[in-house]
Structure 1
Amino acid sequence: MAASEHIVGRGIGNKLILFSVILVAIMWMLPIAWTLLLSFKPNSELMISTASAFHPPYTIKNYTDIFQSSGVFRWLWNSAVVSIGVTVGILVLSSLAGYGFARAEFKGRDIIFVLVLLGLAVPEQAVIIARHQMFSDLKMHNTYPAIILPGLSSAFGVFLMTQYFKAIPKDIDEAAMLDNASRFKIFWKVLLPLTIPAQATLGIFSFLGAWNDYLWPLISATKPEMFTITVGMASTQTNFAQSEGLGFLMAQAIFAGLPVFIVYLFFQKYIVRAVAGAAIN
């Protein structure tokens, strides 16, 4: 009797958890659905009332207007170059640093690791003036390196990769050393493939952050041909864009976020695997 009551109680608890998760998911999706709906409405209709979003007419003109800007494909290319460059750089540097902190023994290792983690507490806005002055003195503004290089310092990436390397048993390293494998070979051929879930997760967040970054590209890229998609689309908006072209604004938001959504769809299984692994550890 007690066992059956326990099973029934656990079943009710699981249903409540499932209901809560579904409710939170719906609440999270509502703003996206609202944005998508507005993006297909004529701006003239939205100027009267946004309630018109729930009934025809609908149009794709807001999306076709985006492509009428001669620089949109250049901005997409710039964002792709910057985002991929930042992502690859973070993965390479974080993997090497994580392996060093997790496996190498050297003087001051723990102190240096703490100093790296302190980078998590420093907001980007606190160093933006010094960074701008440095790249200005080097005459590097309006170049890809100027937009990419500041994004390569990822304290979170170093911390994540360090923890993953520490979770891998050292017996694997010792077995590889018995086969006369070098340090780099152990890192590259043995340990690095075991951290693919962590790298995929870090890559997704790095790509997302670089693609959506607005502040630094706005400061560093002053020429239209070097705008990223976020800066470029913001430059097309007038002071009265929200009242005169709300549907166009929503279409811009959907268009700018679509590449990130596609990337996430391809790599979501690695994120789930990484989260599951972290929960087990």
Structure 2
Amino acid sequence: MAAGSIVGRSAGDRLILGAVILLAIVWLVPVVWVTALSFKPNAELMFSTASVLHPPYTLKNYTDILASSGVFRWLFNSAVVAAGTTAGTLVLSSLAGYGFARTEFPGRTLVFVLVLIGLAIPEQAVIIARHQIFSDLKMHNTYAALILPGLSIPFGVFLMTQYFKAIPRELDEAAMLDNASRFQIFWRVILPLTIPAQATLGIFTFLTAWNDYLWPLISATRPEMFTLTVGIASTQTNFAQSEGLGFLMAQAVFAGLPVFVVYLFFQKYIIRAVAGAAIR
């Protein structure tokens, strides 16, 4: 029975591994295809995309992107907005989550319900009101206008609240016996235990802010304040899809490359975050 169980488990593990490899290939094929198209001359692609399988190849599509005078400014703007939004979200969501999970105050349940209702409201539903607010405050074309709307993420508050609730309250009580203040308990005892949740929320927030297109398109009207997504889109011609397919694919690769670099540097933390979230 033991030998049969081991054999069965081994066969099941192989099936799972095979399925994972197959899904990885399915996911990689479009990425490889887009990358290959980005190195093809646009003139070749006008006739057939099948020419991607053989030379000639060129770097002209990427040099055309770099030739744009504002591309590095747009890259810097995206980095500032994504980093600022991520840092602000982690701070506010952690404080709010701790407040909902570990403290008692009048109307706590009602306020938390209102936060959850925010999960059901799409960004497009409030975009006009948001534009009017920042317009009245004369804050458009500033980093503050690009960052502040991204800080209101109900998902982050919900995630951190649930994570804080899972931490035993005995830790708070033990710290209080040592005359620790409420902030010391939060900062030194409870917050370090939420690193997996912090990493998960940080990754989600960074990717969302980096790939955001709608709000930067509305708020940033000056080229020097464009984010990378808006700036690259502004360089496209009216006939880009028919005459500049390789250039379009190069834009897609260029915009996604910084995220890939971030993943390489923070791969260990990302895996730890996903594993920690799965265990939870």
TM-score scaled by structure 1? 0.96
Aligned-pair CA distance for 1:271: 3.0
Is the 8 Å Cα contact of residues 98 and 162 (structure 1) preserved in structure 2? yes
Is the 8 Å Cα contact of residues 196 and 277 (structure 2) preserved in structure 1? no
Query: Equivalent residue of 1:121, what SS?
Result: coil
Which amino acid is 1:66 matched to?
I
Corresponding residue number in structure 2 for 1:248:
247
CA offsets 1:172-221 (integer angstroms, 9 cap, x no match): 11111111111111111121111112111111111110010000000111
**Distance in 2 separating the partners of 1:277 and 1:66:** 39
Aligned 1:1-281 pairs, distance under 5 A:
2-281=1-280
Sequence identity, in percent?
79
**Distance in 2 separating the partners of 1:4 and 1:185:** 54
How many residue pairs get aligned? The number is: 280
Is the 8 Å Cα contact of residues 200 and 267 (structure 1) preserved in structure 2? no
260-269 or 221-230, which moves further after superposition? 260-269
Query: Equivalent residue of 1:107, what SS?
Result: coil
Structure 1 residue ranges (4+ consecutive) displaced by more than 3 angstroms after TM superposition: none
CA offsets 1:8-63 (integer angstroms, 9 cap, x no match): 22211111111111111111111111111111111111111111101111111111
**Distance in 1 separating the partners of 2:211 and 2:279:** 32
Which amino acid is 1:259 matched to?
P
Which amino acid is 1:86 matched to?
T
Query: Equivalent residue of 2:238, what SS?
Result: coil
TM-score scaled by structure 2? 0.96
CA offsets 1:154-185 (integer angstroms, 9 cap, x no match): 11111111112112111111111111111111
Is the 8 Å Cα contact of residues 82 and 148 (structure 1) preserved in structure 2? yes
Which amino acid is 1:148 matched to?
I
**Distance in 1 separating the partners of 2:130 and 2:70:** 27
Query: Equivalent residue of 2:119, what SS?
Result: helix
Q: Which runs of 5+ in 2 are unaligned?
A: none
**Distance in 1 separating the partners of 2:170 and 2:259:** 39
Is the 8 Å Cα contact of residues 79 and 211 (structure 1) preserved in structure 2? yes
Is the 8 Å Cα contact of residues 204 and 264 (structure 1) preserved in structure 2? no
Is the 8 Å Cα contact of residues 230 and 256 (structure 1) preserved in structure 2? yes
Q: Which runs of 5+ in 1 are unaligned?
A: none
Which amino acid is 1:7 matched to?
I
Aligned-pair CA distance for 1:4: 2.2
RMSD: 1.2
CA offsets 1:108-145 (integer angstroms, 9 cap, x no match): 21221121011111100011111111111111111111
Is the 8 Å Cα contact of residues 197 and 277 (structure 2) preserved in structure 1? no
9-18 or 250-259, which moves further after superposition? 9-18
Is the 8 Å Cα contact of residues 65 and 251 (structure 2) preserved in structure 1? yes
Aligned-pair CA distance for 1:280: 2.8
Which amino acid is 2:226 matched to?
F
Aligned-pair CA distance for 1:274: 2.9
**Distance in 2 separating the partners of 1:170 and 1:184:** 15
Is the 8 Å Cα contact of residues 77 and 226 (structure 2) preserved in structure 1? yes
227-236 or 107-116, which moves further after superposition? 107-116
